[in-house]
Structure 1
Amino acid sequence: MIIAISITLFFIVLRFTVTVFNFVSNPKLTRVNRPYTDLVSILIPARNEQHNILNLLQSIQMQDYENYEVIVYDDLSTDDTYTICEAFAKTHLRIKVIKGEELPAGWTGKNYACYQLAKQAKGKYFLFIDADTTVNNNLINSAVYRMQLHKLSLLSLFCNQQMLTFGEQTTVPMLHYMLLNLLPLRLVYLSKNASIATACGQFMLFDAATYRQKQWHLQVKEKVVEDAEIMKLVKAKALNGEVLLANGMISCRMYKSYTEAVSGFSKNLFAVFNYNALSLLLYILIVIGGPMIVIMTLNFNLIFFMSGLILLTRVMVSLSSGQNAWYNVVLHPLQMFNLVIIAFSSIQRHLAKTNLWKGRRV
């Protein structure tokens, strides 16, 4: 019991320290008003996105960067995605829509879509964004400035998350929670170690010359968590990569219901732990089982100490990611319960080979 409590408190303190580092270092994209003129290719893989894609295209038209092209790859959608994009493109000359082709063996759908988009792009920079995002002013200028300032081959942003339903609020905040108390984001750029890497596929800005040479999506064509794998490759090639928080300049509504959120996170969580069930279960045991053991001791001082660190961690993560701190504190137990459900669902789906996303086996 003493060993279990000691391990639990050690990791709570360690995760709290990482959170403090991220909170103090403030790894956010700095807003820059200086205008840049380099051609940016905005590349959008889209499959069954009829409820999202028009909002994204309109937001791109309204943002303040001037020299850009937009290419949408309709990945064999079974809804009206292609029709909506084609109609919008007829009145907006900077937008081009590509009709997708059958997915070759050995590829995941998104990676193949991105690979095809890059073949069509002409820009100095390739900006891959998801169809469920919304672009705001200052985003592209600020990102291009960051690319040039640090001579980056890849800049990735974790978007601000939009959550409109109770189910989303009990699941989606775990993305930033796990990120900001496990990894000091500044180290992705500062450390040369390729294993210290992560990224978010919702926003991936590449130096186009390097991309054309390295063909990043081709190198990770079968990977489910391709964003982090690409960042590892970038660093392994001794190139510069950086990961930041979006600072309100791009937002995303990842899922629209509890069921969709559980399914979506289940698709990725096991892959994040490199399909190592022991590592994932150990993480769950320490993060959730450990605090329960401390509570069972009925030792007020230990419980107060542990709860205080968890509370402060949730507040700092919420403020850093632009989320409601009060909601996340109150909903923390339910979010942790859902994390257990997602973890076991992720393992079960992988082992049973029933992991599907948008009608495709993953």
Structure 2
Amino acid sequence: MVILLSVIFFFIILRFAVTLFNFVSNPKLRRVTKRYDDKVSILIPARNEAGRILNLLESIAEQEYSNYEVIILDDNSEDHTYELCNDFAASHEKFRVIKGQQLPKGWLGKNYACYQLARLATGKYLLFLDADEEIENGLINSSVHRMHVNNLALLSLFTDQVMVTFGEKVVVPLMHYILLNLLPIRLIYLSKNPAFSAASGQFMMFDAAEYHHRQWHEMVKDKVVEDIEIMRQVKTNRLKGEAILANGMISCRMYNSYNEAIEGFSKNFLAPFNYSIPGFMLYILLLIGGPLIVIATLNLQLIFFMCGIIVLGRTMISFLSGQSDRINTFLHPLQMLSLVVIAVSAIQKQLTKTNTWKGRRV
């Protein structure tokens, strides 16, 4: 039992150390006053986004950066996405919408949509955004500044998450929770090792020259989690990539309900573990089973020590991600239960090859 408890506390303390490193290093996009005018192509793949995409388009039209173009690709939507975007583009000269081609064999839908968009872009930088987001003033200029000063081939931002329903609040915070106590974010940029790779497809800004030369989306055309795979390829090719927190400059409501969030998260939760089911299961067992074993000892000193570390870690992660520390701490047991549900679903989909998203098999 002593050896088991030692392993559990080593795992808990190690994760806390990663969280502390992220908290102290504060990996966020900074607002800058220096003005840039490089042309940015804002590229938006959209499939069945009629209920949300206008919020994004309006937020882009209202921001202060002037030298940009917006291209929206309707990826064979079954709703009124194309009509809504077309009407918006008719009254905004920098916006245009196109219909995507039929999906070729060997490609996944979003990857092919991004590939088509990049071929039409004329900007110095290519900025891929998801259709369910909203941006704030300062985002584009601050991102271009980051690309300049760090000589980046790719900048990715982990967006702030908007959560409305109770179901969202017991699932969506898991994204930042896993990220910020599993990976020292600064090492994505500082380390040349591709093992330190993470990214978010919700915001991917590329140096256009490097993108057109490498064709990143074609390189990962059959990958479910293309964002992480592209960052790995960037680093493998000895280029510079960086992924940091959005610092309130871009937000996204990913899902509208508990079931939708579970379905969405289980689609790609194995990716950070390189799709290793044993490695993923070991992580889940230590993360959730470990604290239960500590509680079962009835040793109050160990229990209080463990709870203190967990609460402090949740507080730091909530601060970094712009979320409520009180809500996340209170809901922590339910979030861990939701993680078990996600894990079971993710493993089942991986083993049976039945992963689907937006009506397509992935």
- The answer, yes or no, to whether TM exceeds 0.5 is yes
Partner of 2:193: 193
> CA RMSD of the aligned region, Å?
0.7
Counterpart check, 1:317 vs 2:317 = yes
Q: Report if the CA contact (8 A) 1:268-1:346 is conserved.
A: yes
Partner of 1:237: 237
- Counterparts of 1:56-135 in structure 2 under 5 Å? 56-135=56-135
TM-score under structure 1 normalisation? 0.99
What is the CA distance between 1:94 and its match in structure 2?
A: 0.6
TM-score under structure 2 normalisation? 0.99
What is the CA distance between 1:134 and its match in structure 2?
A: 0.4
Aligned residues, how many? 362
Counterpart check, 1:26 vs 2:26 = yes
What is the CA distance between 1:270 and its match in structure 2?
A: 2.2
What is the CA distance between 1:271 and its match in structure 2?
A: 3.0
Per-residue deviation, residues 185-234 of structure 1 (Å, max 9, x unmatched): 11111111111110000000000000000000000000011101111111
Amino acid at match of 2:239: L
Partner of 2:217: 217
Per-residue deviation, residues 172-193 of structure 1 (Å, max 9, x unmatched): 0000000000111111111111
Per-residue deviation, residues 40-87 of structure 1 (Å, max 9, x unmatched): 000001000011110000000011111000000110000110110011
Q: Which runs of 4+ in 1 moved over 4 A?
A: none
- Counterparts of 1:286-305 in structure 2 under 5 Å? 286-305=286-305
Counterpart check, 1:167 vs 2:167 = yes
Counterpart check, 1:52 vs 2:28 = no
Per-residue deviation, residues 81-126 of structure 1 (Å, max 9, x unmatched): 0110011011111111110121111111110000000000000000
Partner of 1:180: 180
d(CA) in 2 for partners of 1:273, 1:17: 19
Q: Secondary structure at the match of 1:49?
A: coil
Q: Report if the CA contact (8 A) 1:225-1:272 is conserved.
A: no
Per-residue deviation, residues 16-56 of structure 1 (Å, max 9, x unmatched): 01101100110000001222111000000100001111000
d(CA) in 1 for partners of 2:283, 2:221: 28
Partner of 1:350: 350
Per-residue deviation, residues 304-360 of structure 1 (Å, max 9, x unmatched): 111110000000000000000000000000000000000010111222222111000
User: Percent of aligned pairs with the same residue?
Assistant: 62
Amino acid at match of 1:251: S
Unmatched tracts of structure 2, length 5 or more: none
Amino acid at match of 1:261: A
Unmatched tracts of structure 1, length 5 or more: none
Amino acid at match of 2:258: Y
Which range moves more in the overlay, 95-104 or 255-264?
Answer: 95-104
d(CA) in 1 for partners of 2:85, 2:2: 60
Q: Secondary structure at the match of 1:126?
A: strand
- Counterparts of 1:275-294 in structure 2 under 5 Å? 275-294=275-294
Q: Secondary structure at the match of 2:308?
A: helix
